[in-house]
Each structure stands twice: as C-alpha cells, then as structure tokens.
C-alpha cells in the first residue's frame, strides 16, 4: 500500500496528473494478489491521489498559492505542503 502511494506521489512530482497514474495502477493491481479487499485498495488509491495532489508542485492550487505568497512552487509544494502531509 505504501508503494502505491509513493509511486503515485512520484509521478505527480515529476508532472503526471493523478488521473493518468491512478487508473493505470488500479487496472493492473488485483486486490486478492496483494492480500487485501477491493475497498481497502480503493481507499489506498484515494489516499494516494489526495496526498500526491497536495505535494505536487505542478498542481494549479499550489501554483496559485505560490504566486500569492511570492514563494517558489517547489517551496510551497514540497516544503510547506510536505510538512503538512508528514505531520497530519
């Protein structure tokens, strides 16, 4: 489950939107072979989508906030939002 979250977050960080990576991974992973129920796997993908959209420097909200506070998108996406993800 952690690997799924990390893969989706990695691809979001390099610029691929979650609407591309999550369905591709969801079609490839069988919940039975992973050893979990389909509901747990679905919630894992939802969590991965949520976390990767927060830390992605290429997200529209992150770009808007970075322009508002006059900080770089990487500082807002990784440092500020990343701290929120780690500590919440």
pLDDT tier for residue 20 given thresholds of 50, 70 and 90: very high
Evaluate if residue 29 carries a pLDDT over 80: yes
Phi and psi at 58, nearest 5°, equal -100, 10
CA angle 85, 71, 82 (to 5 degrees): 10
The residue written with tokens 């290429």 in the block is 58
Give dist(CA 36, CA 11) in Å, integer: 24
Is there a contact between 25 and 4 (Cβ–Cβ < 8 Å)? yes
**Which of 26-30, 55-59, 79-83: highest mean pLDDT?**
26-30
Res. 24: pLDDT tops 90: yes
Confidence of residue 5 (pLDDT cuts 50, 70, 90): very high
Q: What is the average pLDDT across 65-83? A: 91
């Amino acid at each position: 489950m952690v690997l799924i979250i990390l893969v989706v977050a990695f691809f979001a960080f390099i610029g691929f939107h979650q609407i591309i990576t999550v369905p591709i991974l969801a079609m490839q992973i069988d919940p039975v072979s992973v050893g979990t129920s389909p509901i747990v796997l679905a919630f894992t993908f939802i969590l991965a989508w949520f976390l990767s959209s927060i830390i992605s420097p290429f997200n529209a909200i992150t770009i808007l906030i970075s322009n508002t506070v006059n900080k770089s998108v990487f500082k807002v996406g990784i440092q500020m939002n990343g701290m929120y993800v780690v500590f919440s």
